[in-house]
Structure formats: C-alpha cells, structure tokens
Amino acid sequence: MQKKKMRKNETKVNDEKNYTPKTDDELKGIAKDLWAGRIFSDRHINSLKDDANVLGMVFMPMVFMSNETRKKLSNLKVSFIYEYLSKASPRSINGMPIFFSCRVLTEPETKKMFEYYEKFKQIADTL
C-alpha cells in the first residue's frame, strides 16, 4: 500500500510528534488565501452558528477522531482549523462546505497568521 504524500503546508491532524511548525512564508500564504476567500475555517462556522456539533459536520475528521488524538491536538494547542475550498466535497450542510480533510494552526501560528491577515486587509483598504 502506497502512502499518500503530504503537501508542503499540510498537517496530519493526528500526529503531534511530527507536527512541523509553519514558516512565516507559509503563514503569509495562509493569511493571503484566507483574505482572498480561498479558505473555509472554524471562524466561519462560529460566525454562522454557535452549535459545537457543526464543526464536526463541516470538518469530518473531527467526528472520527479518537480521544487520544483529541488530547494530542489539545497538547499542540490547536486554535485554528481550516481547509481550502477547492478540497470541499460536492455536498454541503446548511449552506456550508463539507471537508474530508482539514489543516490546523497552533495558537502562536494563529496569532501570527492573523497579524499578516490584518496587514493584507489594510493594504487592500488603501487601494
């Protein structure tokens, strides 16, 4: 059986030890793609629904995660869950995309990525 190759900024959600922190360039790219509307994230869900179950309906790996994996994610201090809209399934739930994969950022990465996001937003506002 052949292993699936990971893309450069893809994260195995269930692998705490092999988590590679994102570089500044990767975080800038994520911020730019979020600003451009290429990414759907847990923040979109929170702005639409306060229901915690919606996260699992949109990001399916969250439903099938073991308690051990949830603990690993907690240890990583994951604070941003996202995926590129190009990876969405052809179906949707309550007007939101469904993903069979997801990517994550830790708290420090999330903070830095949103700093870049705000810079992109400011630049766009001046145009």
Mean pLDDT of 26-39: 96
pLDDT score recorded for residue 1: 43
Tell me what pLDDT residue 52 has. 62
pTM for the predicted model, two decimal places = 0.79
State the pLDDT at residue 13. 52
Q: Minimal CA–CA distance to 81: which of 42, 109, 33?
A: 42
| 99 SS3 class | strand
C-alpha separations of 113 from 5, 79, 86 in Å:
25, 11, 20
> From residue 1, how far is each of 4, 15, 29, 108 by CA, in Å?
10, 20, 32, 36
The distance of Cα 6 from the centroid of its chain, to the nearest Å, equals 15
Residue 4, pLDDT score: 47
